[in-house]
Structure 1
Amino acid sequence: MTPFLTLQGRRALITGGTSGAGAATVALFQELGARVLTTARTKPANFSGAAFVEADLTTKAGVQTVVDAVHRDLGGLDILVNVLGGSSAPSGGFAALTDEEWDREFNLNFFPAVRLDHALIPGMVAQGRGVVIHVTSIQRNLPLPEATTGYASAKAALNTYSKSISKEVSPKGVRVVRVSPGWIADPGANGLALRIAEEAGIDYDAAVQVIMNSLGGIPLGRPAKPEEVADLIAFLASDRAASITGTEHVIDGGTVPTA
């Protein structure tokens, strides 16, 4: 019997694949039969399984290192999943965001996807098929003024950019979709919660509750799990989603209060 979902033999690049939703996506793609290459600034000591390239994607040189690895190790690409993202901006609202902070937010949350797409989508177009998945964020609709203005702005830019290129390349066989998580319950990947915990002298769970309260609550009663985000990404990357392109898929437990 043919399995409901398979990525057998597909060549996939997953950025940010050593923690959180990225690591869960790497593991699931491998389970579903994909050949996976992932990347991060450093390789964790306990990392095993997928092919790995050490690179800093906030730089042009780092992007080129990954592009070279795709061609060398995979011989091309069928699926590109840009999970990389995060924020280290200080609290204090817009006044705390210097030019350097704005550069950091966009160099982490926007430009890596743009540069990888520029280098790798032409190969997908040439072969007449491919899937690009950009992980954005509900923050584009629900920014937290105290701490996430820069991050939310970069993710909003990624959202608009994704929609635009989907119109250009979907007629050529390349689907482009967006996955927009709310808060993900993973101590290793939720930098904002860790920072709040440290600054307020509270534990991680209490910091997550602070964030949930600041968002007006999560109707589901909890943040999403990394594996749940990975499940959605895998479905969208598969042939089961063959007619889905140009769309945003929110996984936030009902956080955003509008349709």
Structure 2
Amino acid sequence: MTTIEMGSASREFAGKRAVVTGGTRGIGAAVVRRLLAAGAEVLTTARSAEHAPPAGAVFTQADVRTVDGARTIAAAARAEFGRVDIVVHNAGGAQPYAGSAAITDEVWREALDLNFLASVRLDALLVPGMRAQGSGAIVHMSSAAVLTPFAPFLHYVSAKAALETYSRGLASELAPDGVRVNTVTPGRVATPGGAQTREEWSRMNAADGAAAATAMPPLGRVGEPDDIAAAVLYLASERASWVTGSSLVVDGGEFSRG
């Protein structure tokens, strides 16, 4: 029996309504599949309709980097479900640059919009409903690169570091209302976007990039999307009912060692 089949048998999310951004590929799609298998109704989003969402999910095309995109997602969720119980902010990413000086103002703004402000904007629209119903779970997707920031991705890791700080503050604010906020912090995961980014980094920095791309985490393999999805579902579930303001590092031991 696979992990998803086990989730289906438990149906622990039956009756829950979830929003997952960036849910048509990679980690986001794995989260959507697991939520659906465990009984949730799921609305997912992407900037384009190029990739089909997992079967059974409601799809809304929207650009999370913009205020209008956040409004589109929130309006679609309200129209489809009436209420939202779970929000998973998965959309994110960035390309490497040849040092911090090569990162332009425009790139910094884009990184902040996608990897930080997208979550802030959508939360601002969906949190009031969660507070009113007295329950909810929000999971923000960070990156283990915040634990060892380096120049080619400084725009990305800075935005993710801001996201983690924001998550802890929001968790404190919303705890009295029964709304939990946590962060999943993945290491290297085998996704199409991640593979493309690592390949580009290797080309830019042949020696260090190639070595980093081929080195294995202590647990002996690169992560799979389902590894991260399992962590997301734990934090979104009642099993984590006493967990808020936390960051769960899921990296095979690569970055989280002292």
Does TM-score exceed 0.5, indicating one fold?
A: yes
Contact 1:138–1:181, Cα closer than 8 Å, also in 2: yes
Q: Deviation per CA, 1:38-94, whole angstroms, max 9, x where unpaired? A: 000112354442000001111111111111101111111000000111003x42111
User: In structure 1, what is the Cα distance between the partners aligned to 2:147 and 2:73?
Assistant: 31
3-state SS, counterpart of residue 217 of structure 2: coil
Tell me which amino acid in the other structure corresponds to 1:87.
A
What letter corresponds to residue 231 of structure 2 in structure 1?
Answer: L
Unaligned runs of 5+ in 2: 1-6
The one-letter amino acid of 1:42's match is S
* Structure 1: distance between partners of 2:177 and 2:40: 23
Counterpart CA distance in 2 for 1:190 and 1:161 is 28
**What is the correspondence of 1:1-259 to structure 2 with a 5 Å cutoff?**
6-47=12-53, 48-88=55-95, 90-145=96-151, 147-196=152-201, 210-211=212-213, 213=215, 218-259=217-258
DSSP 3-state at the match of 1:133 = strand
What is the Cα deviation at residue 222 of structure 1? 1.9
* Distance change >3 Å, CA 154–CA 7, structure 1 → 2: same
Write the distance in 2 (CA, Å) between the matches of 1:208 and 1:53. 38
Contact 1:5 1:238 in 2 (8 A): no
Distance 1:127-1:192 versus aligned 2 partners, 3 A rule: same
Asked if 1 retains the 8 angstrom alpha-carbon contact of 2:25 and 2:51, the reply is no
Name the counterpart of 1:204: none
**Gaps in structure 1 of 5+ consecutive residues:** 202-206
CA RMSD of the aligned region, Å? Answer: 2.3
Q: Which structure carries more helix by proportion? A: 2
Kept in 2: contact 1:162–1:246 (CA 8 A): yes
1:89-116 Cα distance to aligned partner (Å, 9 max, x none): x421111011011011101100110001
Is the CA contact (8 Å cut-off) linking 1:37 and 1:53 kept in structure 2? yes
Please, what TM-score do these two structures have when normalized by structure 1?
Answer: 0.89
Total equivalences in the alignment: 250
Which secondary structure state, in structure 2, belongs to the residue aligned with residue 107 of structure 1? helix
How big is the shift at 1:143? Answer: 1.5
Identity across matched positions, percent: 40
> Which deviates further from its counterpart, 190-199 or 8-17?
190-199
Q: Deviations over 1:138-179 (max 9, x none)?
A: 11111222x110000000000000000100101110000110
Shift of 1:119: 0.6
d(CA) in 1 for partners of 2:173 and 2:59?
31
Instruction: Give the distance between the partners of 2:222 and 2:140, measured in 1 at CA.
Output: 20
Q: 1:209 to 1:16 in 2, by over 3 A?
A: farther
Deviation for aligned residue 1:256: 1.7
